[in-house]
Amino acid sequence: MVEYLSDTEYPQGRRVLVVFAHPDDAEYAAAGAVARWAAEGRDVFYLAVTDGSKGTADRSTSPAAVAERRAAEQRAAARVLGVRDVFFLGFEDGVLQATIELRREIVRVIRRVRPDVVCCPDPTARLMLTLHRRHLRPNHPDHLAVGDATLAAVYPSARDHLFCPELLAAGLQPHRVGEVLLWGTGEPTLFVDVGATVERKIAALECHASQDRPEPLAEAIRERARRIGEVVGLPYAEAFRYVVTR
């Protein structure tokens, strides 16, 4: 029998940085947990890596206009959840790679925010369940790149002073992240009870009005959370793989 970690004991850190590729990724993956952590008094920060400029079916608009609208939607969703601040790196949507440049920019935010916990996509999850869990679909390559670069930023780049010396010269001191939570994983070890916050997750997703949604969105989100919760006997849950980096 698999033993799962208690969501009342983990994560242990009080300061959380959520790193994701596109506006709305964090809401789909972790908004219930984010809202719960914020309500518990934890400081939660967002880092959106791409500009989200490809996320539209509207051929009459421009990538710049899409990016501007999606950034505004992301800020609105963050306010709903109690996120303290949102950082945007502005990398081009759809062509992201886990480069040294990307890693450095994630390190920059880690050293600035100094989180105890980092939450990001699982870079090994090349296939993902659809929202209604009827089929598998390929994971977005931007998600994989963000997960890969974030793990490399956490260890060793943010921790050790000889990495990114230009950041040290700018006054950004090394920082050791103690815990990482990976979403979209095939091997979750931590199930977070989001029964009290699933409606806030839905409200946050509804802030992303520019995006095409399955109908009805609210019931699809509840159903996904129900299915995840069934694994551990919770009405609604979100699942993560817990990684210790100490």
The residue assigned the tokens 């899409």 is 66
Q: Residue 196 domain-assigned? A: yes
Q: What's the rounded Cα separation, in Å, for the pair 20 and 37?
A: 17
DSSP state of 5: B
Residue 218 has pLDDT above 70, yes or no: yes
Residue 87 has pLDDT above 80, yes or no: yes
pLDDT band at 58 (very low <50, low <70, confident <90, very high): confident
What confidence score (pLDDT) does residue 213 get? 74
Q: Is the peptide bond before 11 cis (omega within 30 degrees of 0)?
A: yes
HSE-CB at 16 with a 13 A cutoff on CA atoms is: 29
Residue 70 contacts residue 210 (beta carbons within 8 Å): yes
- How many residues appear in the chain? 246
What confidence score (pLDDT) does residue 126 get? 85
Residue 19 contacts residue 183 (beta carbons within 8 Å): no
**Average pLDDT for 198-215:** 91
Q: Residue 214 domain-assigned? A: yes
Residue 142 contacts residue 91 (beta carbons within 8 Å): no
pLDDT band at 1 (very low <50, low <70, confident <90, very high): low
Residue 149 has pLDDT above 70, yes or no: yes
Q: What's the rounded Cα separation, in Å, for the pair 147 and 61?
A: 30
**Average pLDDT for 15-44:** 98
Flag the least confident range among 39-53, 58-72, 193-207, 210-224: 210-224
What confidence score (pLDDT) does residue 127 get? 82
Residue 215 has pLDDT above 90, yes or no: no
Q: Residue 207 domain-assigned? A: yes
For position 175, which CATH number holds?
Answer: 3.40.50.10320
Q: Residue 5 domain-assigned? A: no
Residues sharing a CB contact under 8 Å with residue 92, sequence separation 6 or more, in sequence order: 50, 51, 53
Percent of residues, the chain, with pLDDT higher than 90: 87
What confidence score (pLDDT) does residue 132 get? 60
Q: Residue 8 domain-assigned? A: no
Q: Residue 223 domain-assigned? A: yes
Radius of gyration of the chain (CA): 17
pLDDT band at 189 (very low <50, low <70, confident <90, very high): very high
Q: Residue 10 domain-assigned? A: no
Residue 194 contacts residue 27 (beta carbons within 8 Å): no
Nearest 5°: CA angle at 131, between 125 and 136?
45
The domain tally of the chain equals 1
* Letter string b/e over residues 104-129, b meaning 16 or more CB atoms within 10 A of that residue's CB: bbbbbbbbebbbbbbbbbbbebeebe
Q: Residue 119 sits in which domain range?
A: 15-244
Average pLDDT, the chain: 94
